[in-house]
Structure formats: structure tokens, C-alpha cells
Amino acid sequence: MINIAICDDDIDEVKAIFSFVLKNMEELNTAFKIKTFNEGQDLIDHMNFDKENFDIVFLDIYMKASQGIDIARKIREFDKQCKIIFITVSHEHAIDSYEVRALYYILKPIDEEKLSAAIKIAIEELDKENKNIVIINKKGSYKIFYKDILYAESKARIVNIYLKSQEVITFYSKLEDFFYKLQDERFLKSHKSFIVNMDYILKIEDKSIFIDDYTKIPISSANLVKIKEIYFKYLLKYT
């Protein structure tokens, strides 16, 4: 279920956005629900008191009683994952939108194609965040979200998965088989013994990859150029 909020103090704009979103979501053939708000503080109050978070929020920047940027900052205090799509009459706050990690910026009057593109990107991001794999070992079974994997290392048919939480999940497998099961473009096989989540690469220097926590991972000499090319293409696509 994809939970969507629309917040704009112009009732006609709310109706138009609602109509566009409804049409696009129905075409995607996925479960969803939409709530509308005519003021930013109403949205914040709902999220605080009703304890309902939203996957996607369409947020007007210029409202009579509040600024959309300020509302987005409040949302980010308790929801880091929500996909915020700003709708506005001006580019004035475009730079500010990066501060609150807005996903998209749509100018009024709303172009349906741009709104469709924004929804598509939001859905792709949500799918990316929710992807997971189940790992079974002697201790039990583990549902591991891809977004939590920093890297994996193989030693003599034993794979160690290193997570953001600093937990390490160990199981028997060939690294190649594990890589095949992941089937996700964010993962890079940098070496015969290592798989890296490119979302956490801090830098590539010489023949090494540095993860956010400064873990140093080797790059296969034979594939050095190809590996750098794959990473830079991924970087361009998602930054």
C-alpha cells in the first residue's frame, strides 16, 4: 500500500493534483490511498497525532499560513524516507529543496507529464528501499533489506554480509550465487571475494573502494576500468 498526501491551500489545485495522481496510480495497478490537506500544519498534526506517515507527499511551497520548505523540515524531523515532491509557482526555493532532500520540483501550472515522471521516480525509489532477501543459516532466517547491506565478503564458500547496524550475517554459499540472487543494479562485484553496495561508496582510489565507514575493499586489477565505469554510470543516474 502506497500512502500519498497532497497539501495545497488552493482547493482547485488540490483537486487537479488529486485527479492527476489518481489517474497515474490506477494505471500502475498498485494499492494506494490519498489524503488531502489545505494547510501544512494540518499535515504535520495528522502525522504527529494520528501516527500516519506518508510514502509520497505533494507539497505546495507557498501557502497562506506556512511555507512548504518549513513543513518539509518538520516532516524530516521524524520521517527521513518520505518522498517529498514540491509544487510551486517559482524556482526561488529550488536550492532549499536539497536541504530537505526533496525528490522532485514541479512548477505550476502543473504539467501532467512531469507529475507522471515524478510519481514514477518516487515509486522506483520506494521499490528500491523495500527490496530484501531472506538468508538462512544455522542460527535461523534473516530478512535483510538491500538498503542495509554495506558489502559482502566471501571466504572458502562462506559469505559474510556486513550491515549498516554493524551486524554480520554469515551463511554458506558461493559469492557468485549470492550476487545472482540479489539481481539489483546497486550491487557491484568489485573482486572475486567482494560485493559492494554502491550507495555507500565514499570514493574509488587506485585499486580500492572506500565505504562510508572507511572500510577498504579491493578492486580486481583485470576489471578495474570496467568497475569504475559501472560505478560512475550509477553515480550519474542516482545523484
**Percent of the chain scored above 90 by pLDDT?**
66
pTM score of the predicted model: 0.73
> When comparing pLDDT for 59 and 30, which is higher?
59
Return the DSSP state at 38.
S
pLDDT for 50: 87
110-126 residue pLDDT tens? 888 999 999 999 998 89
Domains and CATH numbers, the chain: 2-130 (3.40.50.2300), 132-238 (2.40.50.1020)
Burial 144-176 (b: 16+ CB within 10 A, else e): bebbebbbbbbeeeebebbeeeeeebeeebebe
Please say if the pLDDT value at position 68 is more than 90.
no
192-207 residue pLDDT tens? 999 999 999 999 988 9
| Beta-bridge mates of residue 218 | 208
